[in-house]
Copies of this chain bind each other. A is one copy, B any other.
Amino acid sequence: MTKNYTKTEQEFLDYLAEMESYGEAISLMAWDLRTKAPKKSVKLRSNTIGVLSQKIHQMSTSDKMKQFISELKGNTEDEIIHKSVLECEKDYERNAKIPDDEYKAYVMLQAEAESVWEEAREKSDFAMFQPYLEKLVDYNIKFANYWGYEKNIYDALLDMYEPGVTVEVLDQVFPALRDSLTPLIEKVQQSNHKPDTSSILVPFPKEKQEAFSLEILEEMGYDFQSGRLDETVHPFMISLNPNDVRVTTRYDENDFRMAIFGTIHEGGHALYEQNISEDLVGTPLATGTSNGIHESQSLFWETYISRSKAFWNRYFNTLKKYAPESISSLSNEEFYRAINEVKPSFIRVEADEMTYPLHVMVRYELEKGLINKEIEVKDLPRLWNDKMEEYLGIRPTNDREGVLQDVHWSGGAFGYFPSYALGYMYGAQLYHAMNKELNVNELIENGELNKVKEWLTKHVHQYGKLKKPLEILNDVTGEGLNADYLVNYLENKYKEIYKW
C-alpha cells in the first residue's frame, strides 16, 4: 500500500528517514561498545558517535526543519506525519533554545562526566565526581529555564521523560505510595514466616543460566530473528529498529536471579520495541512513548508475570533442566517464596518489589531539590544516606553503595528516575485491566505467554509514540495514574507469602 503524499510530505519523510538512519548507526555503535568492541576502540568510536549525534542535532534544529514544521503543522491529513511533526516541533523548540556553544560544551561534559563517574564509583570517591555533577546540575537548571515551565522548574526536565507528569502529580502520588508501603514493609519485617533464600543462592553455571534465559525469551514471544541476547556489564535493551531489538544481560554465577529476572525485564522492553507498527518505521514515532510506559512493560514481565506463582508452576520444571540440585530439589512453593524475599538493600537494581519504589523516591526528592537549588551537590552523600535510613531503615557505609550507584546523573539525566516508579504503577494498572479480559494466571500456567504479549501489543506496543503515556493508560484502564493497584497487588501477594 503506497500512499499519495504531497511533495513536502514526501520530503519531510525522507528527511526523517535520514535522521533515523544516523540514529540507527549510533545505536549499533552503542550496543557494540557495551558488548563486543575491543578496549582500545572506545576513544575513536566516541568521536564518531559525537559526529553522528551532532548531525542529528543539526538536522533537528535546521531552517529546513523549521520550514517543514510551519508548512505541515495542522496542514496534513496523514496521522503519522501529523504526530511526527509534533514530535519534531517539540525537539526543535527544545534544541533551538539552547545556544550552539552551550550544547557542544554540554555534550562534551556528559562524555567526560560519565567516565569520571565510572572511576569515582569504582573508588567510592564522591569528591572526584562532585565538580562534574555540579556543572551538570547547573546546565540542567539553565536549560530548564530556557525551556520554561508552569509551576516547578523540575517539570521542564520531567517532561522529557514522562510528558504529562509534573511535580504536582508526583508530590501527591509518591508520599501516598510511601505511606502505604511503610506499614507493609513493617509487617514483612515482623513476620515469623520469612522465605529462605539459602538454597537458591548457590553456584549456577553461566552457560546454564544463559540456556534458560534464551528459552524464557522464546516463550515470551521475543523474536530472535529480530534480535539477540548478549552479555554485558550493565544490562540494557537497545532498539535499532523494530526488526533489530537487542537484549543484554549479566550473569552472576552465585545469584542466578540477576540474569534470569534481568533478562525477562529487558525482554519486556524488547517486546515493546519489536511490536511497534511497521507503519511508523523511519519516523520518530517508532519507539516507546515514554520511559514510564517502557518500564511498565519491562516490570510487567519481571514482576507481575515472572515473580508470580503461576509462572513458576509452569516454568520451574524448565528451570530444573538447568538448575543445580540445591534449587531443583525445592518445591514450587519454596522456590516461589525464595525469589520473593523482601529485604531492604542498598542497590536499586537489586531491590525487591516492595522496597523498589522507595529507592526511586530517594532519588526523586534529591534531584528535585538540586534543580530547585534547595540542596547542594556537596551535601548529596549525606542527604542520600539520611533518606535511605529514613525510608528503608538502612544506611549505606560508602558512596559506591550510596549516591554513586546509578549512571543517570553522570549523563545529565535529571527527571528520569520517577519513570521507574511510574512504570511500576502503570504496570499494576495494566495488569488489573488485563485480568478483567483474560485469566492471566491460567494463561501463564498453560504456557500461553504469547497471549499476554498479544494483549500488550494490541493495547500498548503497536502505537509507539502515536499515543502519549497518559493517553495509553486512560484508553486501557479508563483512569489516570493510580497507585492503589500497585499497593493492592503488593499487599495481597505478600500477605500470603509472609502470612500476616
Least CB separation from A14: chain B residue: B51
Copies of the polypeptide in the assembly: 2
Chain B residues with Cβ below 8 Å from A24 are 44-45, 48
CB under 8 Å from chain B, chain A span 7-25: 17-18, 21-22, 24-25
B225 touches A44 (CB 8 A): no
Chain B residues with Cβ below 8 Å from A38 are 224-228, 243-244, 246
Least CB separation from A36: chain B residue: B228
- Asked if A170 is at the interface of the complex by the 8 Å CB criterion, the answer is no
Q: State the Cβ distance, A249 to closest chain B Cβ, in Å.
A: 16
CB under 8 Å from chain B, chain A span 240-288: 240-241, 243-244, 246, 281
Least CB separation from A26: chain B residue: B25
A241 touches B28 (CB 8 A): no
- Asked if A43 is at the interface of the complex by the 8 Å CB criterion, the answer is yes
Least CB separation from A23: chain B residue: B48
B21 touches A241 (CB 8 A): no
Chain B residues with Cβ below 8 Å from A48 are 21, 24-25
- Asked if A41 is at the interface of the complex by the 8 Å CB criterion, the answer is yes
One of B26, B41, B225, B241 near A226 (C-beta < 8 A): B41
- Asked if A32 is at the interface of the complex by the 8 Å CB criterion, the answer is yes
CA–CA, A224 to B26, complex, Å? Answer: 23
B243 touches A18 (CB 8 A): no
- Asked if A37 is at the interface of the complex by the 8 Å CB criterion, the answer is yes
- Asked if A439 is at the interface of the complex by the 8 Å CB criterion, the answer is no
Chain B residues with Cβ below 8 Å from A52 are 21-22, 25
CB under 8 Å from chain B, chain A span 27-43: 28-29, 32, 36-41, 43
CB contact under 8 A between A17 and B226, given known A29-B28, A41-B240: no
Q: State the Cβ distance, A68 to closest chain B Cβ, in Å.
A: 18
- Asked if A223 is at the interface of the complex by the 8 Å CB criterion, the answer is yes
Least CB separation from A43: chain B residue: B243
Least CB separation from A230: chain B residue: B36
- Asked if A47 is at the interface of the complex by the 8 Å CB criterion, the answer is yes
Q: State the Cβ distance, A52 to closest chain B Cβ, in Å.
A: 6
CB contact under 8 A between A51 and B18, given known A44-B243, A243-B43: yes
The residue in A17, A243, A281 that gathers the most chain B C-beta atoms within 10 A of its C-beta is A243
Chain B residues with Cβ below 8 Å from A281 are 44
CB contact under 8 A between A243 and B47, given known A21-B52, A25-B52: no
One of B26, B28, B44, B224 near A32 (C-beta < 8 A): B28
A241 touches B41 (CB 8 A): yes
Chain B residues with Cβ below 8 Å from A21 are 47-48, 51-52
CA–CA, A44 to B40, complex, Å? Answer: 29
CA–CA, A40 to B222, complex, Å? Answer: 13
Chain B residues with Cβ below 8 Å from A26 are 25
Q: State the Cβ distance, A217 to closest chain B Cβ, in Å.
A: 13
Chain B residues with Cβ below 8 Å from A28 are 25, 28-29, 32
CA–CA, A227 to B32, complex, Å? Answer: 12
The interface of chain A, by Cβ under 8 A from chain B, is 17-18, 21-22, 24-26, 28-29, 32, 36-41, 43-45, 47-48, 51-52, 223-228, 240-241, 243-244, 246, 281
